[in-house]
Amino acid sequence: MSNKVIVLGEAREGALRNVTFEAIAAAKQVSGGGEVIGVLAGDAVKDLAQEMIHYGADRVVTVEHPNLKHYTSDGFGQAFTAVYEQEKPDAIVFGHTALGKDLSPKIASKLASGLISDVTAIEGEGEDAVFVRPIYSGKAFEKVRNKEGLLFVTIRPNNISALEHDAGRTGAVSSVAVDISNLRSIIKEVVRKSTEGVDLSEAKVVVAGGRGVKSADGFKPLEELANLLGGAVGASRGACDADYCDYSLQIGQTGKVVTPDLYIAAGISGAIQHVAGMSNSKVIVAINKDPEATIFKIADYGIVGDLFDVIPLMIEEIKKIKS
Amino acid sequence: MNIFVLMKRTFDTEEKISVANGKINEDSAEFIINPYDEYAIEEAIQVRDEHGGEVTVLTVGSEESEKELRTALAMGADKAVLINTEDDLDEADEFSTAKIVAEYLKDKEVDLILAGNVAIDGGSGQVGPRVAELLGINYVTTITGLEIDGTSVTITRDVEGDSETIETSLPLLVTAQQGLNDPRYPSLPGIMKAKRKPLEGLELDDLDLDEDDVEAKTETVEIFLPAEKEAGRILEGDLADQVSELVTLLNKEAKVI
């Protein structure tokens, strides 16, 4: 049986996030040949609709309103609910991003549905789909299926491959007028702290520092390497506790769980609580002075040495490749 | 101010995980208060100390959760409530838990509910916002700062590393992110006092709920451990050569740069 699936698209600084395209691919699989409808909410999002279609959506519904300029659970909740009521889908897919994590439980609660969060793989399709998700921050995994009613999943960035971009695909774009009102939260200010706009949970490359970085200044070479590779900087709990960096950078069982293509652990010993947050990265490089450090046990490549010698040499070598 | 904290008992972060008979093996595991819930408890105590009122810590679970509730009382919470579902529910999901919690809270005239933004075991982060929606109150997730003035609330929120300042009002549910505060350790007098603080035990019956009302919408069909990672290559030789080899491997073999 085929399902009608709606996917909430998410923009950051005027462009759709990659996780949106991954969510469309997930929706395709869940639809079992049914229709996939993109949803976009914001103050001006119509121009992004074609991109969702190029990545596999059959059509797109937009909700535009000045009160949707910033995300609020009330505003986006009202916008999404209006589209839900119009489309009455069998399934919903969101990205497991800050927005998706915040909004999906509200919608699921409103619709009295289940919600399978933070999915990293989908087995089977249509009604038979089973969803794989990490538990204990990736120390184990569970397979979950929907028992009854609306199927609702959020997918973790970087785990499900997007479909090929096809500029020739076409589809209808329609809009729903919703009076977004009675917002109980007002966003007064947004302070950007993330490096070069690359979000840690979505970054393809993460360069993370631990106690071995020794100071806030010690993160500078890591930042340079991350910027060179178009990645983001992360940290172990030890580095955050020592005030070398902000807690928003912490990777681990408390903190963020990341699955980049490349994870470079510099001066990180590999405590179990940190490893839980990064061990599912595709390729792990460990740099540590201590040859006994446990991080080497899970690394694909290891260099025993001082990160302050190794990182600058890496930067040089990578620049050579790039030029 | 009438303050509630939603708490969960979880595995210690240092625990290794093993699977026995298709379930996570809990034998001899150490349990703790979910670390994010500790921030919620600490914040609740600070808000009460500044604005007056009472802090009630609430959990849904089994009798074993009494230990973590006592810890919360020892930190400084005033009352604890354990909704024991051990005999009634075989399988519960976030829908079930949220419904139970909301049913308990619906007539409590809450001003502020705090919870962790995610539990480090299930990792879904759903129950807080679900409860807020069921109660019809506003919520803000992953907060790193909270200031209350009358019924006005100013919040700092962590959004994937960026920071938002939000204005809202009570009644409100917030979920705690790391960086909100430094949770205190229970003091010895605190531990002594906690023994005499009220800990109420309830079952679904007491909430006029039966199993069908809270039946899970999703089910876990399998639990498994990730494949053991094989030890990788420790590079050798002169440091500059190692780095050059590494970058070549990342570029040509792993194809990640």
> What average pLDDT does range B18-36 have in this prediction?
92
Tell me how far apart the alpha carbons of residues B86 and B121 are, in angstroms, rounded to a whole number: 18
Q: Using CA coordinates, name the residue in chain B closest to A256.
A: B160
Q: Which of B204, B139, B136 is nearest to B6 (CA)?
A: B139
The domain boundary residue, chosen from A125, A140, A175: A175
Is B122's CB within 8 Å of A285's CB?
A: no
Q: What letter represents residue B14's amino acid?
A: E
Does residue A118 form part of some domain? yes
Same domain, A17 and A156: yes
Does residue A262 form part of some domain? yes
- Torsion of Cα atoms, A287 then A291 then A294 then A296, to 10°: 50
Is B13's CB within 8 Å of A142's CB?
A: no
Is B36's CB within 8 Å of A105's CB?
A: no
> What average pLDDT does range A40-52 have in this prediction?
97
Same domain, A223 and A153: no
Does residue A182 form part of some domain? no
Is B166's CB within 8 Å of A188's CB?
A: yes
Is B126's CB within 8 Å of A304's CB?
A: no
The domain boundary residue, chosen from A175, A192, A216: A175
On chain A, the residues whose CB falls within 8 A of the CB of B35 are: 254
Ordered by where they begin, the domains of chain B are 2-214 (3.40.50.620), 230-257 (no CATH)
Q: CATH number for the domain including A252?
A: 3.40.50.1220
Same domain, A149 and A269: no
Same domain, A211 and A156: no
Same domain, A83 and A232: no
> What average pLDDT does range A100-128 have in this prediction?
96
Tell me how far apart the alpha carbons of residues B204 and B87 are, in angstroms, rounded to a whole number: 10
Same domain, A166 and A22: yes
Same domain, A33 and A158: yes
Is B14's CB within 8 Å of A148's CB?
A: no
Is A314's CB within 8 Å of B167's CB?
A: no
Same domain, A170 and A216: no
Q: Using CA coordinates, name the residue in chain A closest to B217.
A: A114
**Closest in A141, A204, A229 to B224, CB measured:** A141
Is A73 in contact with A91 (CB distance < 8 Å)?
Answer: no
Q: What is the pLDDT of residue B160?
A: 83
Same domain, A58 and A169: yes
Is A239 in contact with A211 (CB distance < 8 Å)?
Answer: yes
Instruction: Give the global pTM.
Output: 0.93
Confidence band of B91 (pLDDT split at 50, 70, 90):
confident
Same domain, A20 and A167: yes
- Rounded to the nearest angstrom, the minimum Cα separation between A61 and chain B is 25
Same domain, A168 and A42: yes
Q: Assess whether pLDDT exceeds 70 at residue B85.
A: yes
Same domain, A171 and A265: no
What is the tens place of the pLDDT at every residue in B137-194?
Answer: 999 999 999 999 999 999 999 998 789 999 999 999 999 999 999 999 999 999 999 9
Contacts of B83 (CB under 8 A, 6+ apart): B58, B59, B60, B61, B100, B101, B104, B202, B203, B204, B207
Q: What is the pLDDT of residue A195?
A: 54
- Rounded to the nearest angstrom, the minimum Cα separation between B191 and chain A is 26
- Rounded to the nearest angstrom, the minimum Cα separation between A170 and chain B is 33
Does residue A191 form part of some domain? no
Q: What is the pLDDT of residue A200?
A: 87
Q: Which domain holds residue A313?
A: 200-322
Tell me how far apart the alpha carbons of residues A278 and A275 are, in angstroms, rounded to a whole number: 5
On chain B, the residues whose CB falls within 8 A of the CB of A204 are: 256
Least confident of A5-9, A226-230, B167-171: A226-230
Does residue A184 form part of some domain? no
Q: CATH number for the domain including A9?
A: 3.40.50.620
Best of B19, B239, B243 to mutate (most A CBs within 10 Å, chain A)? B243
Q: How many domains is chain A built from?
A: 2
Could you tell me the strand order of the sheet in which A140-146 lies?
A: A121-123, A130-135, A140-146, B218-224
**Closest in B17, B231, B239 to A140, CB measured:** B17
Q: What is the pLDDT of residue A197?
A: 62
Does residue A188 form part of some domain? no
Tell me how far apart the alpha carbons of residues B219 and A148 are, in angstroms, rounded to a whole number: 10
Does residue A223 form part of some domain? yes
What is the tens place of the pLDDT at every residue in B226-245?
Answer: 888 777 899 999 999 999 99
What is the tens place of the pLDDT at every residue in A148-198?
Answer: 899 999 999 999 999 999 999 999 999 999 999 999 999 999 988 755 567
Is B222's CB within 8 Å of A201's CB?
A: no
Does residue A83 form part of some domain? yes
Confidence band of A1 (pLDDT split at 50, 70, 90):
low
Best of A72, A109, A228, A240 to mutate (most B CBs within 10 Å, chain B)? A109
